[in-house]
Amino acid sequence: MSKETLVKSIREIPDFPVPGILFYDVTTLFKKPEALQELSDTLYEMYKDKGVTKVVGIESRGFIMGSILATRLGAGFVPIRKPGKLPAETIEESYSKEYGTDTIQMHKDAIGEEDVVLLHDDLLATGGTMAAACKLVGQLKPKKMMVNFIIELKELDGRAAFSDEIEVKSVLEL
């Protein structure tokens, strides 16, 4: 399977979640075994030698490949969620995004200073959600942070939201 085949497998939904937004639905990739395996293999090859100890997935689509990647890398998995969804003591970060504001939370004890952290989500648009996730993880002072997306919307220049210290990679660029 090629990256072109993966791109063709992505469903586009206009005006979701609000008018004017073109939503790229990666669940169509997840439901095809060969596409899911291709994504898993590609992500594993990208990070197998990076010493990742924790993979952080952003609610909710980031949980899917984030968990798979954590398992393949022999790393732990840490969820970042919307407020009120995590049962223990949390830290949080609020941010603006292209169609409103939001807040994300993570367990306060999820990451240590010796961790090498890979943050994963499905899509890089303007970078607001992941930049907030990096600030959130950064509060716990890990040794290193890297960021990964399945899809990057190049025309929105979301990479500008991250410092040069954070390696940002995408599987697909649209």
- Torsion, Cα 151 155 156 160, to 10 degrees, reads 90
Residue-by-residue DSSP string for 63-82? HHHHHHHHHHHT-EEEEEB-
* Residue 98 annotated to the active site: yes
* Residue 72 annotated to the active site: no
How far is 34 from 6, CA to CA, in rounded Å? 10
What does the block give as tokens for 8?
Answer: 């063709």
Which residues are 58's β-sheet partners? 80
Candidate list 12, 34, 45, 98, residue with the active-site label: 98
Candidate list 61, 81, 93, 152, residue with the active-site label: 61
Buried b (16+ CB within 10 A) or exposed e, 33-46: eebeebbeebbeeb
Active-site residue numbers?
61, 98
